[in-house]
Amino acid sequence: MGDAPEANSEAPEIAPEAVKKQRPYGKRNPNAVIEERRKRLYKRQLTGLPVRQLVLDHADREGIGEVTAWRDWDEVKRWNEEDWSKDRESIVSRLQAMRMRAIDAAIRKGQIGSAQLLMRDLGAVVGEVAPEAQAAAAPQLAIVVEDKRSKTE
């Protein structure tokens, strides 16, 4: 038996490293390109521009159509909702810690008015009501009507 291909009835074995996995649409994976483009829009939203302006700027900068830019915005909006649902549990404790640091800094700098306002906000969160707010609240009236007809029998 020779080494010539016509002498071998078996197909030559190909090493797994030699087999290349074909990526769709050429050398650059379009899903990765789209993802990176959407990440840039996600970062850009922190500039505070209105949504329409963000989307139009995104379309200009990336060289894409407005419809595609709006599709990217829909995905970024979904990411924002996911982020908020993940952060919702810890946001109150984080806000409280920020308030406490701000109160401490205001007192150290002698900004008593700022500290007072921050403490009032902190008290409102925990359910403390200032005496002025209690005095300003309208009195509550509860009227209960009893049915006397059923008692006279």
Instruction: List the end-to-end C-alpha distance of the chain, in Å, as a whole number.
Output: 119
Residue 94 or 14, more confident = 94
pLDDT, one tens digit per residue, over 77-121 is 999 999 888 888 788 788 888 889 999 999 999 999 999 988 888
Residue extents of the structural domains in the chain:
30-130
Q: In terms of pTM, does the model score above 0.75?
A: no
For residues 75 and 62, give the distance between their C-alpha atoms in angstroms, rounded to a whole number.
16
Instruction: Report which of 17, 65, 9 is spatially closest to residue 37, judged by C-alpha positions.
Output: 65
| pLDDT given at position 127 | 72
pLDDT band at 26 (very low <50, low <70, confident <90, very high): very low
Cα 79 to the chain's mean position, in Å?
6
Residue 126 or 145, more confident = 145
DSSP state of 26: S
DSSP H stretches of helix in 19-126: 30-44, 51-62, 66-108, 112-126
What is the SS3 assignment for 2?
coil
Could you tell me if 58 and 72 are in contact, meaning their C-beta atoms sit under 8 angstroms apart?
yes
For residues 44 and 26, give the distance between their C-alpha atoms in angstroms, rounded to a whole number.
29
